[in-house]
Structure 1
Amino acid sequence: MVGRGGRLPFAYRRGPVTIFSAIIYISLLTALLVIHNTVPSAHNDYIPEEISLDEAWHDLQRLTKSFHPYNSHANDDVRNWLLLRIEEILGNGKGPSARVSEDFATVENDLSSNVTSSSQGLSVYFEGTNIMVHVKGTPEFSHLGAVLVNAHYDSVSTGYGATDDGVGVVSILQLIKYFTTGKHRPRRDIIFLLNNGEEDFLNGARVFMQHPISSLPRTFLNLEGAGAGGRAVLFRSTDTEVTKFYKAAGHPYGSVLTGDGFQMGLVRSQTDYVVFNGDLGLRGLDVAFLEPRARYHTSEDSTRYTSIDSVWHMLSAAIATVEGLALDKSEEYQGRVSNDKRIVDNGGSRAVWFDMFGQAFALFKLRTMFIISILLLVLAPLFLIILTVVLVRQDKWYLFDGRVVTINYDAGPDEGQLPQKYKMKGLYGLWRFPVTTIVSVGLLAGFVQLTIRVNPLIVYCSPYVVWSEFLSLFFIFFWFLYRSADFTRPSALVRVYSLIWLFILSWVGLVLVTVSENNYQLAGGYFILFYFTSIFVATAISFLEMLVLMKKRVYLEDLPRLRWWHKQNHKDDDESDDTRPSSHNRQAEDNQDATESSALLQSSTSFQGYGSRRRSRDEGNAEELEKEEGKFDYFGEEQHWSGMLPKWTWVLQILVLAPINIILVGQIGLLITSALRQTPADGSSVAAAYVVIAAFSILIVLPLTPFIHRFTYHIPTLLLAVAVGTALYNQLAFPFDQGNRLKVFFRQDLDLDTGVNRVSITGRSDYIHSVIDSLPSSRSMQVTCNPPPQENRYGLLDCSWQGLPPAVVPRDPSVLPEKSYIDYMHLDVVRSNLSSEGTITISGNNSRACKLFFDPPLSDFKIVDPPNAAEDPRFKPVGPDGVKELRMWSREWERGWKVWVKWGKEGGLDGRAVCAWSDQNDPEAIPALTEVRRYAPHWVTVSKTTDGLVEGLKRFKM
């Protein structure tokens, strides 16, 4: 505290609080936004001489020059190119010889592995065309399990597959090059898997399990893409021990919260991770691109919308992780092979992990977090209770003291000792935080609901405008209510009471997190642990600073003397910045019972008389009294004893509270926003993104609330303008643009018996009609709209009409398309002499993907031709619900399948046979899809609805 000559630059007053808090929040939030939206430049990093980013980029361009789903001829072209590219890499190795020895690296061109699997009434038969490169480790570590590195080289039928999963593929090509030189030879074997067929039921990874080499790995790294560009995020990991190798990545990025999302089933799509971990029992990591989802599975998933920096971000993380796994000498991951060929008993502890500004990576065990949580839940309240007891015993516990005490003062020789009542005001501000929080949250919820009702998809393209609105609104609501209460009932206890309430709320939150840690193995609540810890430390500081206070008894005895000195020394102070009450307030106060804030005598003459008597009595102690009075430089009309409190401790508190919580909460909020904001186009809840943004906005502002009443009007006024502008924008702006297009889903169904075709587009119900009206073929046609057949597609409509006929099968130009449909599929159905058995032979012209639907469900089936279809005890061909649908994929074109079927009920079998066509590289093959791309509004992009873009149907009976 500085006397009349000046003030501390960081005193707990309006100016310093406003400026210092604003600097902290603005600088950290800006840094978070910049880092979140910027891919680290590859030019600023060290790149090993074996790695060529230019080469990787050219490979990516070659890989993505056409759509290449499994059921396309372009897929075969990509496969052949990959084999040649791998041979080129191995032929130009920089090892001891000009060519990499086959004893060191071998290529497995798998054209024989098949798999049959099932899930919830769906069975799948798949023939693989995977490519594997086996790089051998050093002989002394040959007994250790291998490292599997996986990416899939097929794309979806509507996307070029640059990030899903082209970047993963070219990363593997560079990793092969990196590890096939003598300089980087691994200790463990490494198996690089380029699988085909991931996009449709993760078939490529499942068929890999049928190859003998699949018995070698014990750990894995899966490279994937669920967005289109940006940074590659650590989606999930199995345990702490494998995650430690990702820690060496130059630019780590991710949070364990995304892994919890998969574990709780909140994320619909899956990756090959679930096969390697769930079916094979391996331990490993899932690294994938996350955003923007509007480009995912569309033609915008191309090299145009990604960058060489994105390639390096994934590749550099892969190098660090794979090198760490491959050089590891421990037997940590060995486990044992069970009867069903699955690796079991291979240990591993659940991990907690998150990055800090994309530069540092925190990693610890969930068990450690659980123990720390338990200790904090017990010790933190206990520590505050002990401090409370100490303060009470020292008579320094000013909190909760609502007494009105009577003090005698010397009124002079005539009047003698007269009583004066004083309010301790220890309850002032007690209920301010909960009431303000409830009202502010309620008001913010109203604005959230307004946005959802009026313009529910604005977050699709403008998430940061939504963030700005919600942050500004919550701050304004809280500030206004706190300042209003502070104006009518000022209290120095607002800060500590706010911290106590925050402590209680965060303690309850930590209890819930601790339960989820122990019962459900969920680690995503780690930020609550830090949140609680910071609040506890800040609360403890407020408790500790009360130790410097006078004992209440001494304070009350000296109050008349010290109050007089305060009046004398501050009567000429500048009272302009809201720190003193107005004359009107002072006059009103004269009519009330005296409090600490009241003058000791109600008339100025009496006070001056008292002062003159005190001066004559204390002239010899004037310097000591001046020193004592310095302790009572209280703020405004707050309690006088608060002037004894240190004026700088709030700086410690805000430094403890704000930075760590802004960083952790902000990073998580931005990550979840990126994951959720464009999922309503897929049929996910519209409200989810808004609730997340609102909740995390509240969590970001709450650490500021103990100090918010000290803010001047300047920041709230600015934020009010921001809130008004962003609120208007969020209600009125169009929610899509060319960088954030609305995704719609295309499907064309052919009735091969009648020749009728129907084009179906599925999309948001509030915009789908605008899309369909823009298509020439829909005019004068009857458009039928219904909820989509898929479950949990909220807010979507499936609209269909008789569209342009496809030409996915070569035909005589003189023959009408409808007349050629009979040649699209060959179907032969034979019922055996037994009552509930038969065989179905099916093949598609210019297709290698067909499926069968059964009513009633099959109780058993077997692929008769091609023969020797493998059976794996890890995969049951028939699930507990029987077979309602059987999907079949062939590596050969037009060969088809012969299937023996058996159903459990008496009577016949009704069914549908469907073959799919997914190759749209020729724009004339599917004119209806070409029409959508050409005529749909510029703010629309298109993706596939199901396996085939065109599906031809025939019905059968047995």
Structure 2
Amino acid sequence: MARFSNPFAFTPLPVIILTTVTYVALFSGLLTTHLTVPAHPSKTPSGTNLTQAWIDLETITRYHHPYNSHANDDVRKYLLSRVKQHVTSKNLTDHQVQIIDDNVSNVTFSEGSTTVYFEGTNIIVAIRGSEDGESFYSANRAPENGGVLVNAHYDSVSTGYGATDDGVGVVSVLQLLSYFTEEGNWPKRTVVLLLNNGEEDFLNGAKAFMRHPISQVPHTFLNLEGAGAGGRATLFRSTDTEVTSFYKAASRPFGTVASSDGFKKHLIRSETDYVVFNGELGLRGLDVAFMEPRARYHTIEDSTKETSLDSVWHMLSASIATTAGLADDTSTTFSGTGQPRSDGTVDAGTGSEAVWFDMFGRVFVIFRLHTLFALCVTLLVVAPITLIGLTVGLSKADKNFLFARKQYVHSPDDDEPIQLNGWRGFFRFPITFGVSTAITVALAFLFQRVNPHIVYSSPFAVWASMFSAWCFSAWFLLRGASAMRPSALQRMYALIWVFIGSFALLIFTTILVQNFQVAGGYFALFYFASVFFALVLSYIELFCAPKKSAYVALCDQEDSQAQHADASSRPLTGSTSGPRSGDRSPLMDDDATETTSLLRGDRRSFRRYDGRRQSTSEGTDSGERSADLGHAYPGEQKWSGKLPNWLWIVQFLAIAPINIVLVGQLALLTTSGLYQTPADGSPTLFIYLAFAVLTTLLAVPLGPFIHRFTYHVPTFLFFVCVGTVIYNLIAFPFSREHRLKVYFQQQVDLESGMNTVSLTGLDGYVQDIINELPSAQGQEIDCRSPHKKSRAELKKCAWQGLPVHVAPTLIPFGNKTTPDSWLDYSITRNKSANEASIRLVGQNTRACRIMFDTPATNLVVGGAVSDDPRFNATTGKTSEIRLWHRTWSTPFTVNFTWDGDAKSSGRVVCLWSDANANDVPAFNEVQHYIPNWAVATKYSDGLVDISRAFVV
């Protein structure tokens, strides 16, 4: 019994302890890494000041400050004064640091049928590299090795304070200015720090930066963003391996290439300035951003009280490490040809696609996508060949018990087979896998059917129910099968099936890598490699078993001795043919009855077919022969007694930890990226199915070992499953910590006087919110699908709301408004052609639109610069033009033509986005009366749209 008291043997207690401790420890580590932020150090690098950074953050996030607000001007003035104060305090010259207060650049560009005219108000600071030339940039020459651009936008949305979107990025840029102008930290290449204005509305600020000549200086970039409120700053995406390698120097790296794939394949709908710097300017770089909780994104909860100094330091420290590495790189990696391109983009060379991920926020792994492909192909070829070779080796060694049914004893008087039971347990794992996975998928459909939005506030309750359901059902089936028909090969057969499944997964991953450059399946390489290694150990383990011929001979010898023992126990009657007539054999009882054993008279036959031969037999000789075969686990094939009883530990540690970490990280990333997207109109079933698939990948490494569990842990998991399933089915899906986002918009028609307020959100819940508003009481609420395709799953519910007070000349009364001079326009038409000019002005705003019923062509905006081939909106057809001035109440002039009809019609619209001055009472009402489980955000660029129809 020494085998079963061994603390390393493949017996229940060691298996339960090791597997449970491993899963709990790794899950705890993953959750801690994902949900907490490393503490900021007491002493930061020379040139940085976290106290000042926090003061700056509190100052710029005091009010909502979208581009179209007066608070935005105040933030700009503050940031410009901070930049100048810093340069002055260090006595830096214009030759060292150049401040560009860009009130000149403007841009006109088209996106589909929408055209945008924007006047930029960016703040640019250029720190000349110690190894760069005398001038920062030249209109006639592009820099040979380029520099580094670091960008953050200082505008917020109209419904948020912008602490992490993008206040932390802004103060990080200010700290980078202080750091790189400190003695000993001066960069070798020029560092361009950009504080752009207008990111929240069509990425306008980054577009305007492209119009400035200094945009030709940098070849690499680091974009700092925010899509959540607090937590860790993650590496969203990168352009290539070479530039990503510099992020590796961050003390607390965080992120995985799967998020980059999400943007690349348009699974993530939102965008950042990254697409402008890379896709249009031609730079190579990184996108670092806060990613959760998304429920606070673009709401009043994006404030300093929802973030921390730790989050500031996490982004700042990564920015310092990455920028310093890029700025000190004097190689030609990012230099391209060194000549400007004819289309105005930067030639920064070409990099290689990258695969990258972090390990517990401390270690950053990066390699090329081509390397991943090569490793995948290599394993797909080598693994099957290796297993075939091992199978042949086992057969030649006469130790291949896999799929071995029986072995004949070649003796003249005995041709009965000895059962080896090699097939026993072969089909258990695929059946168990199918049933357990089906149960998990069924839970996904159940949650989606009964309480589809519970994932919004309780994603970990969903995870707990699915994981516990899979594990319990797998244990129930595998343990039950093992109890009825024990098999020493059950673990190995389970590994064979996992090998087959991971082999198919690796083929799929290889196809994605080669044909679609999708790197997020990198975990499949490690999954397959670890399973392959564990399976090889099982093959090697069989080499320790006795030869089949020796085992059969030993069994035959045991049977012969057993027969001899039986014969010697009979009475001496002078005959061996059986008892004489009238004699009673001592082996026989009275006459046979219904309860008489059928095997009692054939002990030899019983021993030859029974796979559960006891380790102790009658007589001393039998005990000695059992010792020759070792001690098999009770009930399992006796030939397994010589197998190493500790090798399972190596197999488990090979297959479980790496896959738990890699798949667990992807599961948490998926959770953060998806669990609150239903408020944006995304379907919930996809989320639950993604959880089910990842749950299966997380639980499968436990499959080959779980049949050794006793009932204690599975029973606990059963109650966890029942409790979480009940909770997921009946709990209210939103909470104070995870508020449902609804989208506010107010539209006023100055011709009809109609004043419509709307909230867009999940059907059923948005109506409950509106029922709490005093202005909506007694009104018929009109709910319909919104015009935006991205909101197709939501309902837009409208009612006659409170009047607005955004312009001094507006005269409100009741639920209507008297049009005055709030929105004014005039049209001049060339009667000899389909050509006209619209002059449009809005009071107390700097954002307007023109919507064309008949698409317009040859658009020209007064004051627009059209000498840049990247910004030419004079061709193509436009259904809408968005207009942005840098000054207030300034007229727009738009010239256009149209085809077909003799007349052109449409609407002129101006926007108001300032919620600070109580100019939008309807929005204030929503914020005041909205339930504590919901929060309001903007539906469009403006909180209020005022319009009038026109006909040319």
For 1:309 and 1:843, how far apart are their aligned partners in 2? 45
Bigger drift between 587-596 and 707-716 goes to 587-596
Using a 3 Å threshold, how does the CA distance of structure 1 residues 6 and 729 change in structure 2: closer, same or farther? closer
- Confirm or deny: 8 A CA contact 1:407 1:422 kept in the other structure: no
- Confirm or deny: 8 A CA contact 2:856 2:879 kept in the other structure: yes
Please list, as runs of the form range in 1=range in 2, the aligned pairs for 1:458-857 lying within 5 A after superposition: 458-561=454-557, 594=606, 598=610, 608=618, 611=619, 614=621, 625=624, 629=627, 631-811=629-809, 818-857=816-855
- Confirm or deny: 8 A CA contact 2:471 2:699 kept in the other structure: yes
Using a 3 Å threshold, how does the CA distance of structure 1 residues 556 and 173 change in structure 2: closer, same or farther? same
For 1:365 and 1:307, how far apart are their aligned partners in 2? 35
Contiguous gaps of at least 5 residues in structure 2: 134-142, 563-595
TM-score by length of 1: 0.91
Structure 2 residue 405 is the aligned partner of structure 1 residue 402: yes
Structure 2 residue 932 is the aligned partner of structure 1 residue 938: yes
SS in structure 2 at match of 1:42: coil
SS in structure 2 at match of 1:874: coil
- Confirm or deny: 8 A CA contact 1:746 1:942 kept in the other structure: yes
Structure 2 residue 367 is the aligned partner of structure 1 residue 364: yes
Please list, as runs of the form range in 1=range in 2, the aligned pairs for 1:112-151 lying within 5 A after superposition: 112-139=104-131, 143-151=144-152
Using a 3 Å threshold, how does the CA distance of structure 1 residues 595 and 305 change in structure 2: closer, same or farther? farther
- The one-letter code matched in structure 1 to 2:744 is F
For 1:190 and 1:514, how far apart are their aligned partners in 2? 39
Give the equivalent residue in structure 1 for 2:89: 92
1:406 Cα offset (Å): 5.7
Please list, as runs of the form range in 1=range in 2, the aligned pairs for 1:330-479 lying within 5 A after superposition: 330-336=331-337, 337-344=340-347, 346-403=349-406, 405=408, 420-479=416-475
Give the equivalent residue in structure 2 for 1:96: none
Using a 3 Å threshold, how does the CA distance of structure 1 residues 773 and 477 change in structure 2: closer, same or farther? same
Using a 3 Å threshold, how does the CA distance of structure 1 residues 549 and 112 change in structure 2: closer, same or farther? same
Using a 3 Å threshold, how does the CA distance of structure 1 residues 323 and 672 change in structure 2: closer, same or farther? same
For 2:76 and 2:668, how far apart are their aligned partners in 1? 38
Residue 951 (structure 2) aligned to one of 943, 954, 957? 957
Using a 3 Å threshold, how does the CA distance of structure 1 residues 563 and 957 change in structure 2: closer, same or farther? farther
For 1:595 and 1:896, how far apart are their aligned partners in 2? 102
Structure 2 residue 52 is the aligned partner of structure 1 residue 67: no
- Confirm or deny: 8 A CA contact 1:224 1:289 kept in the other structure: yes
- Confirm or deny: 8 A CA contact 2:613 2:635 kept in the other structure: no
SS in structure 2 at match of 1:247: helix
1:144 Cα offset (Å): 2.2
CA displacement 1:577-608 (0-9 Å, x = unmatched): xxxxxxxxx98998997476728999x9xx74
For 1:51 and 1:596, how far apart are their aligned partners in 2? 81
1:438 Cα offset (Å): 1.0
Using a 3 Å threshold, how does the CA distance of structure 1 residues 392 and 835 change in structure 2: closer, same or farther? same
For 2:810 and 2:848, how far apart are their aligned partners in 1? 24
Structure 2 residue 7 is the aligned partner of structure 1 residue 9: yes
For 2:427 and 2:64, how far apart are their aligned partners in 1? 63
- Confirm or deny: 8 A CA contact 2:399 2:545 kept in the other structure: yes
Using a 3 Å threshold, how does the CA distance of structure 1 residues 229 and 146 change in structure 2: closer, same or farther? same
1:877 Cα offset (Å): 1.3
Q: How many residues align?
A: 907
Residue 922 (structure 1) aligned to one of 917, 924, 927? 917
- Confirm or deny: 8 A CA contact 2:409 2:552 kept in the other structure: no
Residue 901 (structure 1) aligned to one of 889, 893, 896? 896
For 2:613 and 2:280, how far apart are their aligned partners in 1? 85
For 1:6 and 1:739, how far apart are their aligned partners in 2? 51
For 1:454 and 1:565, how far apart are their aligned partners in 2? 67
1:407 Cα offset (Å): 7.8
SS in structure 2 at match of 1:198: coil
- Confirm or deny: 8 A CA contact 1:222 1:287 kept in the other structure: yes
SS in structure 1 at match of 2:41: helix
- Confirm or deny: 8 A CA contact 2:852 2:879 kept in the other structure: yes
Identity of aligned residues (%): 46
Bigger drift between 129-138 and 543-552 goes to 543-552
1:183 Cα offset (Å): 1.6
CA displacement 1:528-578 (0-9 Å, x = unmatched): 110010000000000111111111111111125569999xxxxxxxxxxxx
Give the equivalent residue in structure 1 for 2:592: none
Using a 3 Å threshold, how does the CA distance of structure 1 residues 817 and 467 change in structure 2: closer, same or farther? closer
1:762 Cα offset (Å): 0.1
Please list, as runs of the form range in 1=range in 2, the aligned pairs for 1:237-276 lying within 5 A after superposition: 237-276=238-277
- Confirm or deny: 8 A CA contact 1:152 1:198 kept in the other structure: yes
CA displacement 1:104-147 (0-9 Å, x = unmatched): 00100001111111111111010000000000011457742010
- Confirm or deny: 8 A CA contact 1:242 1:285 kept in the other structure: yes
- Confirm or deny: 8 A CA contact 2:758 2:797 kept in the other structure: yes
For 2:609 and 2:452, how far apart are their aligned partners in 1? 51
Contiguous gaps of at least 5 residues in structure 1: 94-98, 409-415, 567-585, 616-621
For 2:35 and 2:671, how far apart are their aligned partners in 1? 12
Give the equivalent residue in structure 2 for 1:579: none
SS in structure 1 at match of 2:856: strand
Structure 2 residue 160 is the aligned partner of structure 1 residue 159: yes
- Confirm or deny: 8 A CA contact 1:824 1:845 kept in the other structure: yes
Give the equivalent residue in structure 2 for 1:223: 224
SS in structure 1 at match of 2:476: helix
- Confirm or deny: 8 A CA contact 1:115 1:207 kept in the other structure: yes
Give the equivalent residue in structure 1 for 2:98: 106
- The one-letter code matched in structure 1 to 2:287 is D
- The one-letter code matched in structure 1 to 2:77 is N
Using a 3 Å threshold, how does the CA distance of structure 1 residues 562 and 911 change in structure 2: closer, same or farther? farther
Bigger drift between 215-224 and 631-640 goes to 631-640
Please list, as runs of the form range in 1=range in 2, the aligned pairs for 1:15-54 lying within 5 A after superposition: 15-43=13-41, 47-54=44-51
- The one-letter code matched in structure 1 to 2:45 is P
Using a 3 Å threshold, how does the CA distance of structure 1 residues 844 and 420 change in structure 2: closer, same or farther? same
Using a 3 Å threshold, how does the CA distance of structure 1 residues 562 and 89 change in structure 2: closer, same or farther? farther
For 2:724 and 2:395, how far apart are their aligned partners in 1? 49
SS in structure 1 at match of 2:38: coil
For 1:755 and 1:589, how far apart are their aligned partners in 2? 99
1:811 Cα offset (Å): 3.7
TM-score by length of 2: 0.92
For 2:558 and 2:712, how far apart are their aligned partners in 1? 35
For 2:2 and 2:628, how far apart are their aligned partners in 1? 8
1:768 Cα offset (Å): 1.1
- Confirm or deny: 8 A CA contact 2:461 2:724 kept in the other structure: yes
For 2:769 and 2:424, how far apart are their aligned partners in 1? 60
